[in-house]
């Protein structure tokens, strides 16, 4: 779905990745990042957010918390991350992004609260319950800190992905704020939800969920008690063109993830300001039964669209032309993605060692893929910066260490 956008708007990136693979500098099973484009995207996004008075925290999980990605985002004006979990926070902190927001989507485990308070010192820490608020406050108090807490709120009819549920009753938000302020080491800072925005298949637009209205009503209830200077964190399907609508709804914080590499659903159907800056690269391994098999490991396609005819570019030389496209079948999510299966019965005749380039919306952090930074695409001198695992640690490829 996103390969067409890559071919039209960033063909030099595709060709650079293919050339680097063919020269032996880039391994298969790699999410490859155009760091020049990431920096441009971050700058555009952060400038727009600042003009609207919004704080910006970068979500990095989709591209495996790559240190070069974090550095590019920082150069673009975003110096803080939103961490999906503790591993994410540590990886981003190590890469130079301070922790702007922790605890949402994944709550901080009890045993990690002390480390989070003492070492990460997040600007904001989301809690779903009295118990989690008490744990965060106690950890901060031991460090002689006052931790800003965001209360995740919800009410009947709000939207949750299955397995993401949780939060305080929105109707009790004033009591929740008062309770948090009684805790030594904590201060009530505001409210949050997820997702505040979603892509609608029928209208092909990004639309607000009921959750955003829930935030607005809760903010009004808090203002009625004198709490009219609170933070409103409203993540989900952010791109720079959506920010004015979020600001109009009262949001003070935004958390771009896929926007930073041009892979929100809206990027697939409209040419937005952010350029496509990520691709997935593989290599043909062998043939069987009319198919050419390419290495997998990172073939997790975030299902924001119904299933479609997945295509890839296959070539032994750099190309971004449609004549190199052919269909590819990837394993069902219930299976392990050892390989993708390329249709070898048509005009494209893949050979072992050929480069395979996909463009899809990934979630690298749930895969076993490499994450590779490439700089210099914009100047015509592309080079690999670092090859890292999904925790932002160098893999050492192509050298392998057994100790």
pLDDT (tens digit per residue) in 244-267: 999 999 999 999 999 999 999 899
Predicted confidence at residue 179, as pLDDT, reads 98
Spans in the chain with pLDDT lower than 50: none
What is the SS3 assignment for the chain? Answer: CCHHHHHHHCHHHHHHHHHHHHCCCCCCCEEEEEHHHHHHHHHHHHHHHHHCCCEECEECHHHCCCHHHHHHHHHCCCCEEECCCHHHHHHHHHCCCEEEEECCCCCCCHHHHHHHHHHHCCCEEEECCHHHHHHHHHHHHHCCCCEEEEEEEECCCCCCCCCCCCCEEHHHHHHHHHHHHHCCCEEEEEEECCCCEEEECCCCEEEECHHHHHHHHHHHHHHHCCCCCCEEECCCCCCHHHHHHHHHCCCCEECCCHHHHCCCHHHHHCCCCCCCCEEEEEEEEEEECCEEEEECCCCCECCCCCCCCCEEEEECCCCCCHHHEEEEECCCCCCCCCEEEEECCCCCCCCCCCEEEECCCECHHHCCCEEEEEECHHHCCCEEEEEECCCCCECCCCCCCCC
Predicted confidence at residue 391, as pLDDT, reads 95
Predicted confidence at residue 205, as pLDDT, reads 86
Predicted confidence at residue 401, as pLDDT, reads 76
Predicted confidence at residue 86, as pLDDT, reads 97
Predicted confidence at residue 40, as pLDDT, reads 98
The C-alpha atoms of residue 79 and residue 89 are separated, in whole angstroms, by: 13
Predicted confidence at residue 262, as pLDDT, reads 96
């Amino acid at each position: 779905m996103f390969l067409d956008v890559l071919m039209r708007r960033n063909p030099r990136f595709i060709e650079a990745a293919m050339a680097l693979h063919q020269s032996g500098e880039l391994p298969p099973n790699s999410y490859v990042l155009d760091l020049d484009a990431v920096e441009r995207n971050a700058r555009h996004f952060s400038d727009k957010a600042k003009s609207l008075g919004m704080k910006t925290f970068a979500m990095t999980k989709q591209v495996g918390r790559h240190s070069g990605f974090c550095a590019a985002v920082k150069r673009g004006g975003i110096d803080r991350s939103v961490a999906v979990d503790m591993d994410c926070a540590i990886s981003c902190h190590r890469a130079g992004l301070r922790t702007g927001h922790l605890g949402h989507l994944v709550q901080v485990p009890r045993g990690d609260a002390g480390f989070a308070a003492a070492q990460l010192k997040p600007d904001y820490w989301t809690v779903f319950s009295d118990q989690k608020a008490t744990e965060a406050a106690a950890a901060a108090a031991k460090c002689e800190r006052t931790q800003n807490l965001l209360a995740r709120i919800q009410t009947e009819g709000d939207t949750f992905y299955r397995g993401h549920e949780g939060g305080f009753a929105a109707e009790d938000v004033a009591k929740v704020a008062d309770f948090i302020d009684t805790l030594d080491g904590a201060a009530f800072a505001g409210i949050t939800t997820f997702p505040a925005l979603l892509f609608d298949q029928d209208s092909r637009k990004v639309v607000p969920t009921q959750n955003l209205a829930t935030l607005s009503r809760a903010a009004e209830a808090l203002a009625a008690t004198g709490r009219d200077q609170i933070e409103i964190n409203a993540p989900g399907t952010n791109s720079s063109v959506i920010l004015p609508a979020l600001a109009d709804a009262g949001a003070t914080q935004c958390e771009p993830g896929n926007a930073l590499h041009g892979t929100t659903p809206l990027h697939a159907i409209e040419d937005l300001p952010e350029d496509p800056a990520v691709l997935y690269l593989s290599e043909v391994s062998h043939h069987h039964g009319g198919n050419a098999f390419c290495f997998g490991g990172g073939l997790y396609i975030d299902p924001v669209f119904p299933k479609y005819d997945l295509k890839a570019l296959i070539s032994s030389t750099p190309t971004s032309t449609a004549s190199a496209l052919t269909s590819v079948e990837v394993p069902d999510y219930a299976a392990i993605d050892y390989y993708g299966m390329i249709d070898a019965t048509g005009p494209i005749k893949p050979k072992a060692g050929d480069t395979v380039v996909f463009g899809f919306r990934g979630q690298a952090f749930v895969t076993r893929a490499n994450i590779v930074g490439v700089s210099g695409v914009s100047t015509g001198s592309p080079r690999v910066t670092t090859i890292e695992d999904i925790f932002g640690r160098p893999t050492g490829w192509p050298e392998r260490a057994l100790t």
